[in-house]
Structure 1
Amino acid sequence: MNSELVKRTFVEYYQDRGHRRITGSALLPPPGDPVLFTTSGMHPLTPYLEGREHPLGRRLVNVQRCLRTTDLEEVGDLTHLTVFEMLGSWSLGDYEGPQSLDWGYGLLTEGFGIDPGLLHVTVFGGDEQCGPDTRSLELWQRHGVPVELTVEDNWWSNGPTGPCGPDSEIFLWTGDTPPESTPTGDDRWVEVWNHVMMRHRRLEDGSLVPLPQRNVDTGLGLERLTTLLQGRRSVFDCDVFDPWRRLLPPLWPLDEPSLRLVSDHLRSSVVVIGDGVRPGNTGRGYVLRRLVRRVLTVLWQDEPGRSLGDLPQELVRHTLDRFGQDVDPGLVRQVLLEEERGFGRLLRRGRQVLSRPRYQGRQLTEEELNYLHDTHGLPRELVLSLRES
């Protein structure tokens, strides 16, 4: 089952249950939104989760491209991506948590053919403000799925204030032995799907009040689920990355973690550029700049002559097509090359400045790091990287 079939199966399953498909938005939130990038499928739906009537009704499904910078340092491991697709379903004041979980169990076991014996779930166990989520617990017990009760791990919020509520997370066993332990006790249990029962609003004083409507918000990472269904260990081994694994290693021989990072960051950069962002020193532009510079830092560690100009156009075109972006691949390559040239000039200047005797043989102070940034345009992470190398 490839990623496109996984996506289609998910959407059609919910359409058969009365959900209307909404078009996934770009990575860029609307003007006035303080968030730099769309980080989840629910983000564009926030006004409707808070009570506004959605033009397509109260049951929705979509596929949303997302970008998360919070996981940037984790990229290169087996599960984290910077840009990914999120499969989502919503009840805007219609059905509640047990119905969502029941459908979720049916899709995983019947639609995707997952052995029920390989599933484990976590459920909110209650705290001093909110009691345990007994309805979710009872639903899973009826299906015979083992349950682990937690508190912090199963309370969802979008920040210190705002909509929140208990959630139930579904995990799949990926070990070579029969399932053992629990999701919090063994990392071979991999989370695949989160169902949030968005019932409350947290106020500034920390208290909870009911939302105008009781919602359900679910999110399932397409690449992660596809990887598990295909029996692969890494998201970089699923079909989404097939052309990257075929074309990059012959071009740039890299160790496995470096290959994953370069593939992820270049793919993410193409998507971000495709949505209209250009490199800069602040905001979204700086996120893109960081992605490109991290790629170049890895590529130039062993071979300074490597260039993004050698990136196969097939990879740029494949990525743009996958995310439905009508952008000239040549424009994307031009943006990448311009950033490469600028970073090369910055590296040369940085090496010259840091070679001065005053910076040798000791740790730099905060004042010096700020001076190097403000006077010479050398970002802190670049200075520290140059010092390490």
Structure 2
Amino acid sequence: MHTEQIVRTFVEYFEERGHRRITGSTLLPPPGDPVLFTTSGMHPLTPYLEGRPHPLGRRLVNVQRCLRTTDLDEVGDDTHLTVFEMLGTWSLGDYEGPRSLDWGYRLLTEGLGVDPGLLHATVHGGDDRTGPDVESLRVWQDLGVPVELTEDDNWWSNGPVGPCGPDSEIFLWSGDTPPRSTPTRDDRWVEVWNHVMMRHRRLEDGSLVPLPQRNIDTGLGLERLASLLQGKSSVFEGDAFEPWRRLVPPLWTLDGRSLRLVQDHLRSAVVMIGDGVRPANTGRGYVLRRLVRRVLTALWRDDPSRELCDLPGELLLHTLDRFRQETEPGDVRRLLVEEERRFRGLLERGRRVLARPRFQGPLHDDDFLYLHDTHGLPRELVVSLREE
């Protein structure tokens, strides 16, 4: 089942159950949102989750592109991407958790053909703030799905303050043996769908107060689900990465993890540029700059002559089309090449500066501060140059 077919099945399933499809936003969150990027489908909907009526009603479904920087060090494994698409559903004070979980189970097993014997669930087991989520526990028990009670792993929050609540996560077995153990004890259980019972608001003092309405917020990573449904061992083996898998290895010979990092970060950079982000020393622009520099560091580790201008135009066009962006591929290439030139110059300057006698011994915080403020050399770049 290809990703577009998964999207169509997902959206139509919830439309048949009274949900209205809303248009996903760009990677840039709405004004006033404290995060740099849209990290989940709920971010653009925060005002409605807090009680404002949504113009399309109380049941919503969408496909939202997201970017998460918290997982950068995980990129290169089987399940994490920097930019990905999230399938989402919401109940804005309408139905409760049991109905959401039942629909989720039936979509996976009946609509998408998942073997029920390959599913496992986790449920909030209670803590010093709230009791166990007995409603979700009962749903899974009635459906015959194994369920594990956890504490911190099944409490969702949108930062230190704001909407929060218990969640129930659905896992799919990815191993080549019959399912065993539980999600917290065996990482072959891969999380595919999170159902949040968003009932509380956390205040600055850590206390919880009820939200004006009891919401349901669910999210399902499209590329991750697609790779599992397609019987692939990682998100990089699914159909979303087919052109990257076909065109990048003949261009640049890289070890497995470096190849995945290059594919992910370049794909993410294209999407960011398509949404209007430009390289900079702070904020969103610095995230883009960091991704490009991580790509170049991986490429130049074995061959400093490698250049981003060699990146096939098919990859740029495919990614922009997939994420429904109108930026010209030539403009994306130009920005990437300019950033590459800037980084080469910075590396050359950094090597000259670090060759000075002052920097031959151990470096202290004052040295890193001086190198950054005076010469524009970030700490991580200095550390990398010292390891050459």
Shorter-chain TM-score bucket reads over 0.9
Kindly report the root-mean-square deviation, in angstroms, between the aligned alpha carbons of the 2 structures: 0.8
* 1:214-363 → structure 2 map (5 Å cutoff): 214-360=214-360, 362-363=361-362
Name the residue aligned to 2:68: 68
User: Which residue type is aligned with residue 116 of structure 1?
Assistant: P
Q: Give the match for residue 385 of structure 1.
A: 384
Q: Which residue of 1 aligns with 2:28?
A: 28
- 2:164 match: secondary structure: strand
Deviations 1:308-353 (A, max 9, x none): 0000000000000000001110000000011000000000000111
Which amino acid letter does the alignment assign opposite residue 84 of structure 2? F
Is residue 200 of structure 1 aligned with residue 200 of structure 2?
yes
CA distance in 2, matches of 1:40, 1:388: 37
Distance 2:245 2:357 in 1: 44
* Counterpart residue number, 2:170: 170
CA distance in 1, matches of 2:204, 2:165: 16
**Cα deviation code 1:74-96 (max 9, x no counterpart):** 11111110000000000000000
- Name the structure 1 match of 2:77: 77
What's the % identity of the aligned pairs?
78
Q: Could you say what secondary structure the match of 2:385 adopts?
A: helix
1:190 CA drift (Å): 0.6
> 1:3 offset after TM fit, Å?
0.8
Task: Give 3-state SS (helix, strand or coil) of 2:199's partner.
Answer: strand
Distance in structure 2 (CA, Å) of the matches to 1:165 and 1:115? 29
Provide the rounded CA distance (Å) in 2 between the counterparts of 1:251 and 1:293: 18
User: Structure 2: how far apart are the matches of 1:367 and 1:145?
Assistant: 56
CA separation in 1, counterparts of 2:202 and 2:36? 23
Partner of 2:279, secondary structure, is: coil
Question: 1:58 & 1:144 partners in 2: Cα distance?
Answer: 30
Q: Which runs of 5+ in 1 are unaligned?
A: none
SS at match of 2:210: strand
CA distance in 2, matches of 1:102, 1:121: 12
Structure 1 CA distance, aligned partners of 2:306 and 2:57?
A: 52
Deviations 1:102-156 (A, max 9, x none): 0000000001111111111000111122111111111111100011001111111
Partners of 1:74 and 1:280 in 2: CA distance? 24
* Aligned AA (1:43): H
> What does residue 2 of structure 1 align with?
2
Partner of 1:97: 97
Give the distance between the partners of 2:19 and 2:303, measured in 1 at CA.
52
CA-CA distance at 1:359 after TM superposition: 1.5
List per-residue Cα deviations over 1:47-78 (Å, max 9, x = no partner).
Answer: 00000000000000000000001011111111
What is the identity, as a one-letter code, of the residue corresponding to 2:371? L
Q: Distance in 1 between matches of 2:275 and 2:203?
A: 35
Worse-superposed segment, 365-374 or 30-39: 30-39
TM-score (norm 1): 0.99
Tell me the SS of whatever aligns to 1:70: coil
3-state secondary structure, aligned to 2:368: helix
The Cα of 1:358 is off from its aligned counterpart by 2.1
Write the distance in 1 (CA, Å) between the matches of 2:203 and 2:302. 52
Give, in angstroms, the shift of residue 206 of structure 1. Answer: 2.0
Aligned counterparts of 1:128 and 1:292: Cα–Cα separation in 2: 44
Superposition deviation, residue 33 in structure 1: 2.3
Are 2:335 and 1:368 aligned? Answer: no
In the aligned structure 1, how far is the partner of 2:128 from the partner of 2:268?
A: 42
**Which amino acid in the other structure matches residue 245 of structure 2?**
R
- Report the CA distance between 1:209 and its aligned residue: 1.4
Deviations 1:180-217 (A, max 9, x none): 11110111111000000001112222221111100000
Distance in 1 (alpha carbons) for counterparts of 2:34 and 2:152: 26
For 2:137 and 2:120, locate their aligned partners in 1 and report how far apart those are by CA, in whole Å.
12
CA deviation digits over 1:220-279, x for unaligned, max 9? 000000010001111000000000010001000111101100000000000000011110
TM-score (norm 2): 0.99
Give ranges in structure 2 of 5+ residues lacking alignment: none
Q: What is the distance in 2 between the residues matched to 1:58 and 1:31?
A: 23
Q: Distance in 2 between matches of 1:373 and 1:139?
A: 55
- Length, aligned pairs only: 388
Q: Distance in 2 between matches of 1:236 and 1:90?
A: 29
Q: Deviations over 1:150-183 (max 9, x none)?
A: 1111111112221111100001111121111111
Give distance in 2, aligned partners of 1:226 and 1:60. 22
Distance (whole Å) between structure 2 residues aligned to residue 305 and residue 153 of structure 1: 45
Runs of 4+ deviating beyond 4 Å: none
